[in-house]
Every structure is written in C-alpha cells, then in structure tokens.
Amino acid sequence: MAGRDVLDEQADHSALRAKYREERDKRLRADGNEQYIEPTGRFSHLLDDPYVARSEREPMLDEVDVAIIGGGFSGLVTGARLKQAGVTDIRIIEGGGDFGGAWYWNRYPGAMCDTAAMVYLPLLEETGHMPSQKYVFAPEIFGHAQRIAQHFGLYDNAALSTQVTALEWDDQSSRWIIHTDRGDRIRARFVSMGTGPLHRPKLPGIPGIETFGGRAFHTSRWEYDYTGGDPGGSPMVNLADKRVGIIGTGATAVQCIPRLAKDAGELFVFQRTPSSIDVRNNHPIEPEWFQTLEAGWQHRWLINFATLQTGGFAEEDLVHDGWTDISKRIRDRVVADLGAGAAFTPATMLKAYEDSDDEKMTEIRARVDAVVHDHSAAEALKPWYRQLCKRPCFHDEYLLAYNEPGTHLIDTDGKGVERIDEIGVWVAGKHYDLDCLIFASGFEVGTSTARRAGFETTGRGGLTLSERWAEGMQSMHGIHVHDFPNLFIVGPSQGANLISNITQNLTEAGETIAAIVRHALDEGATEVEVTEDAEQAWVAMLEGSERAFLGNADCTPGYYNNEGRPIGRRERLNASGYPAGPVAYFEYIDAWRTTGDFLGLEFR
C-alpha cells in the first residue's frame, strides 16, 4: 500500500498498524545486535583519541579518598557535589584528553544536543553560565564540561588520557585498586563509575567493510585533517571535490548530513530506516530575560520539564518543545477520554497513546512532503513506526538537505548496504564509487558491561560485574551493587531513567553519592554496601513494572527494542526505571539521602 493511501486513511488504525508491521518485518533479522562489529583491524584506530597527542608520564602509585572513573557529565557532577560536600581528595580518571565524555568524542559537524540547554547543561547556576541558544552545539557543551571541571577544581589531581584496564576490590585493606594503561596502581576508598551508556563506537558488519580503500571513519572520531573545517562550523573545504558516503540515518547522521550536503562534492546517504524529524525551532537566549530568573531557577525548570515530559501537570511549560509536546498530547487525550466517560484503565491509556502517536507521526510524515521536493525521496524519508520506537529527532535543516542537487538518498528499503568493496558501496546490485565513507552507525548497547566500559570490575570473592549482571543489571537505585562495596554506579538505569534529559539522572546520583561518602567519612566507616535484601527488593519492585520503551514487539528494530530480537529479563532489567516515574524517583531519592538513614546500606 502506498504511503499516500495510508495517510488518507488516517482514521483506519488497522491499515496504519498493518503498514507499520510490514515495514518492521522488512527489517527484522536473525542476527539482531550481532550484526554490528567492533572496530578492529583496519578500523582499530577508531578507538584512539585523534584530538590530543599522548604524552608520557610517571605511573601513579598513590591513594585517594574517591576515584571517579569517567570524566563526562557523570564524573563531573559527582566530583562537583563531592567538593561541595567538603570531600576534596578526589581523582577523575578519563580515557579522553580532556573532560566532556560524549561531548569530548563527538565533534562531528553540526553536533548539538536535542534537549534544551536550560535543563541539559548541569550546574548552570553554580557556574554562572548562560546558554547561548535554546539548543546548543557541541563545542559549547564541551566548553561547559571544562567550565565545571575548572570551577570545582577537578583538573587538580586528574588523570586524563588514562584508560582504566582493571578495577579490583581488595578485601584486606577495604580499598579498590585501579589499574590503567599508564601503569598506574591507584588505591581508592571509594570509586564512582560513570562510563556512559553509549560510549564504544560500533560498525555495521557489512560484507567487505575491511576492504574499503578510501578514507573511512566513525562520526565519534571525525577526521577534520581529511575533511577540512572544524567543530565550530567552518566549511569542510577538502570535501568539495569528493564523493562522500554516509551509512546511517540516526540522531547523529541527522545532525551532520546538512553540513555534508553543503560541503561535499556529492553526498550519498545510505538509509535503512528513516528517523522521525520533528520541528527544532532554535533561538538565541536573551541575556535580559536570563537575568530575570530567580535563584533556584534551574531546579524548577528541571522538575517542570521532567513532570511534563512524563505525563504530569504543570501550570506552565517552561521548555515547551517536541519532548513535552509528545507527552502533553497523550496526557490531554487521556483527560479528554475520561471526561467523555471512558473508564481509567490501561486500555484507555493505550488508546490515548496510540491516537496521539498516530496524529504526531502523521504530522511528521506531512512535514516531509512539505519540505522535500523529490517525490520518491520524500516517500522514502517517511517513518512508518511509532515515534518512541526509535530516538525521536528534531531538526530544521535535515530534510532540506535532500533538496541540494549533490545529495542523493540511497534508500535500501530496510535491507541496509549490501556490501562494500575497495572503491565503494553496493546497494540492490548498484555500485556507488566513493572517496570517503562515514559510519554514523552508533554505539554498543547491550554488550557486556566490561566490553562497553573497556575494563572489568572485580568485587568481593573474585566476582566480576559482568558475571553479576550476566542476566541483567541488579542494583539498588541504579547506584549500589551487593558484593561491590564502596562502589557507586552513575547512570539513568534502575533509577529515574529519564531518557529525555540524561544529565538530570546524573546530577541526582552525584548528589546522592556525595551525601553517602560524606556520611561514611564522618562516621569513620571503612565500608559501605547495599544489603542483599535491599538490592533484591529494589529489583523486584522494578520488575513489577512495564515502564520502558523496551518490549514493544510492533516497533521497527533498533537499540530501544533489542534490535527486534526477543526481550528477556536481561534487557528489561537493563532499561528499567522507577515504576512511579522520574519525578517520583527524584522526590524519593531526595528524601532518602536527606534523612541521613540511608536505608538499605550498611556502614561498617
């Protein structure tokens, strides 16, 4: 059935559902996550740091109160909160040559954050920074990471360009021992670990990928020495006479394709599944307005955004964007249905969700028709799935890029690139000669904890975290793991799991960890550990909930649904969040840490 017909039959839900299933079925594949490969051999340099020259130093063989592994926003906000709590003997250990994490590595042209800077950039009030725009570009975010590090003295004593190779608990001394690729052997009373959920670049396992003879790189290691230009937006002048291919059309590709379309001689976009592209509407932030904000504004904005983004009510929508629009529509429809006499049941909620989603996706598909001139390109760019099946994207130039004469959309009808040879790419039996091939193929999700972090963590009795979590993450609050004393994990899972604003999860975790470490130091406790009972109770509560994107068998495959493969306990646990939602979690954890009882933890 043609897309136009389905559009016309919007009221006919079953036709739309059938179209969604048809598109999903084209993309289902038996190898699921295994279709991706690690960058080895010809691509092993993709794990290197292209941004700084490595300088040699003496190994560190000392001890600190708190070692923080990972210098992204997880490590920075934890370090900041610890310093604020008077814990000063801290060392952040980071593989990159500077702080920033994802924003250190991802310098591709057009990189920006889809979450409004007023809520995404942590500690704005503490550091006195005014974001330049509603949504800011990567260099400003990287700069903000550096600002936090400077403001809280986190460069002092840091170990940058240092990759942890092993983390081991020493029961005799109640200390963690951290081994690194610099020959360090750092002892730490406490370790906080924020290694990032989307950290390790992955490549599509397309036959022949190793044989490509032109320039090839991953978006998270952009090779400006080849393309010309810089992360600040200068044109990539060296591409003017090049035939450039890009594989992938996810959130990253959506941001860099408009820049490539302008600068490349010819651009070939190899698409397997189109992203949903909603309105961006960026604008500068006015200093006069910013100065009128009262102390404590960022916390109010954070709670307002989280509330509206997760279906709650607030008098005003402070951020007012595509994220809050999605959930406000669903919420308002539930209210309207209830007002019209519907019973408050899961079926009412589901119907409201489906109706709102159909409406939103119809708008998104209509936007493609309104912007893209070429009819067949427009048809191919329409997403046929529910908006939250994949990472929603927001952009005002992406679709326009397909009106550039040198930009060619090579739609693979859900099948992906067929094979790669020395001089280019094959799709449906047709060869495309390329000088350069860019992989916008994403990051490892769902592989083992150690593989994604780049090192193994060994707790009490020689048990590794990968073994402990082989059947899924097990923790209390997403932070504490039994048999891994004095270790704190920083990430969204098993806590608030607020996906639309990751940094809020991290800032809350940092504050919690700082309170615990402060308490342990004040009490003279050498060990802090979650009891087995408390951890199990938390996990049981999470398992009683269906609250996750995962599990939607109707969705087109992607990393939100285990690439379309069956979703078991492991996948559910890894993506679970507090059943009552992020705002309830933030209230719960604030009360938990401020009472000073730290229920569920044992201080010895």
CA distances from 253 to 100, 198, 245, 499, 521 (A): 21, 15, 11, 20, 47
Residue 385 binds ligand NDP, judged by CB under 6 A: no
Among positions 15, 37, 47, 251, the unique one binding ligand NDP when judged by CB under 6 A? 251
- Of 163-171, 174-182, 186-194, 248-256, the window that binds ligand NDP (rule: CB under 6 A) is 248-256
Among positions 249, 327, 387, 449, the unique one binding ligand NDP when judged by CB under 6 A? 249
Shortest spacing between CB 36 and ligand NDP, in angstroms: 7
**Rg of the chain (C-alpha set):** 24
Q: Who contacts 588 (Cβ-Cβ below 8 Å, separation ≥6)?
A: 578, 580
Question: For helices 322-339 and 346-371, what crossing angle results, to 10°?
Answer: 130
- Of 107-115, 345-353, 449-457, 536-544, the window that binds ligand NDP (rule: CB under 6 A) is 107-115
Among positions 67, 253, 453, 514, the unique one binding ligand NDP when judged by CB under 6 A? 253
| Closest to 564 measured CA to CA, from 390, 413, 448 | 390
Contact indicator for 113, 254 with CB cutoff of 8 Å: no
Among positions 189, 199, 367, 391, the unique one binding ligand NDP when judged by CB under 6 A? 391
For 124-196, list the strands marked E by DSSP: 164-170, 175-180, 185-193
Among positions 116, 118, 371, 440, the unique one binding ligand NDP when judged by CB under 6 A? 440
Nearer to ligand NDP, 197 or 459 (CB): 197
Q: Who contacts 233 (Cβ-Cβ below 8 Å, separation ≥6)?
A: 109, 110, 137, 259
Per DSSP bridges, beta strands 203-204 and 185-193 are unpaired
Contact indicator for 262, 407 with CB cutoff of 8 Å: no
Judge residue 315's burial from the number of C-beta atoms within 10 Å of its C-beta, 0-12 exposed, 13-18 middle, 19 or more buried: exposed
Among positions 273, 298, 474, 505, the unique one binding ligand NDP when judged by CB under 6 A? 273
Residue 322 binds ligand NDP, judged by CB under 6 A: no
Containing 37, the helix (H) or strand (E) segment is: strand 36-37
Phi–psi pair at 36, nearest 5 degrees: -95, 150
Count of beta carbons in the 10 Å neighbourhood of residue 202: 22
- Of 49-57, 245-253, 505-513, 518-526, the window that binds ligand NDP (rule: CB under 6 A) is 245-253
Residue 442 binds ligand NDP, judged by CB under 6 A: yes
Among positions 221, 272, 328, 382, the unique one binding ligand NDP when judged by CB under 6 A? 272
Shortest spacing between CB 107 and ligand NDP, in angstroms: 12
Nearer to ligand NDP, 35 or 536 (CB): 35
- Of 168-176, 249-257, 290-298, 520-528, the window that binds ligand NDP (rule: CB under 6 A) is 249-257
Per-position x/- string for 15-44, each x denoting binding to ligand NDP as judged by CB under 6 A, each - no binding: ------------x-----------------
Per-position x/- string for 402-431, each x denoting binding to ligand NDP as judged by CB under 6 A, each - no binding: --------------xx--------------
Shortest spacing between CB 306 and ligand NDP, in angstroms: 16
**Residue 90 structure tokens:** 């801290």
Residue that is written with structure tokens 């269906």 in the block: 546
Among positions 198, 400, 423, 463, the unique one binding ligand NDP when judged by CB under 6 A? 198
The angle subtended at Cα 406 by Cα 402 and Cα 409, nearest 5°, is 45
Shortest spacing between CB 112 and ligand NDP, in angstroms: 6
Shortest spacing between CB 443 and ligand NDP, in angstroms: 6
Question: For helices 73-84 and 502-523, what crossing angle results, to 10°?
Answer: 40
Shortest spacing between CB 172 and ligand NDP, in angstroms: 42
Per-position x/- string for 559-578, each x denoting binding to ligand NDP as judged by CB under 6 A, each - no binding: x-------------------
The angle subtended at Cα 466 by Cα 465 and Cα 472, nearest 5°, is 100
Residue 278 binds ligand NDP, judged by CB under 6 A: no
Among positions 99, 142, 222, 270, the unique one binding ligand NDP when judged by CB under 6 A? 270
Among positions 69, 80, 113, 160, the unique one binding ligand NDP when judged by CB under 6 A? 113
Residue 389 binds ligand NDP, judged by CB under 6 A: no
Cα–Cα distance for residue pair 383/271, rounded to 1 Å? 12
Shortest spacing between CB 252 and ligand NDP, in angstroms: 3
- Of 111-119, 182-190, 466-474, 490-498, the window that binds ligand NDP (rule: CB under 6 A) is 111-119
Q: Who contacts 293 (Cβ-Cβ below 8 Å, separation ≥6)?
A: none
Shortest spacing between CB 93 and ligand NDP, in angstroms: 24
β-bridge partners, 247: 270, 439
Containing 406, the helix (H) or strand (E) segment is: none
Shortest spacing between CB 35 and ligand NDP, in angstroms: 7
Residue 440: CA count within 13 A, CB half-sphere: 26
Residue 72 binds ligand NDP, judged by CB under 6 A: no
Cα–Cα distance for residue pair 474/481, rounded to 1 Å? 7
Q: Is 459 strand, coil or helix?
A: coil
Residue 250 binds ligand NDP, judged by CB under 6 A: yes
Cα–Cα distance for residue pair 534/543, rounded to 1 Å? 14
Among positions 114, 184, 263, 321, the unique one binding ligand NDP when judged by CB under 6 A? 114
Nearer to ligand NDP, 50 or 600 (CB): 50
Q: Which residues of 270-286 are buried (b: 16+ CB within 10 A; e: fewer)?
A: bbbbbbbbbebebeeee
Cα–Cα distance for residue pair 147/295, rounded to 1 Å? 20
- Of 172-180, 378-386, 438-446, 485-493, the window that binds ligand NDP (rule: CB under 6 A) is 438-446
Cα–Cα distance for residue pair 567/309, rounded to 1 Å? 25
DSSP assignment, residue 556? Answer: P
Shortest spacing between CB 288 and ligand NDP, in angstroms: 28
Count of beta carbons in the 10 Å neighbourhood of residue 312: 17
Residue 252 binds ligand NDP, judged by CB under 6 A: yes
- Of 164-172, 298-306, 339-347, 434-442, the window that binds ligand NDP (rule: CB under 6 A) is 434-442
Nearer to ligand NDP, 441 or 512 (CB): 441
| Closest to 172 measured CA to CA, from 460, 545, 554 | 460
| Closest to 271 measured CA to CA, from 367, 360, 368 | 368
Shortest spacing between CB 438 and ligand NDP, in angstroms: 11
Residue 101 binds ligand NDP, judged by CB under 6 A: no
Shortest spacing between CB 450 and ligand NDP, in angstroms: 21
Residues that bind ligand NDP (CB under 6 A): 27, 113-115, 198, 204, 206, 247-253, 255, 270, 272-273, 391, 416-417, 440-443, 558-559
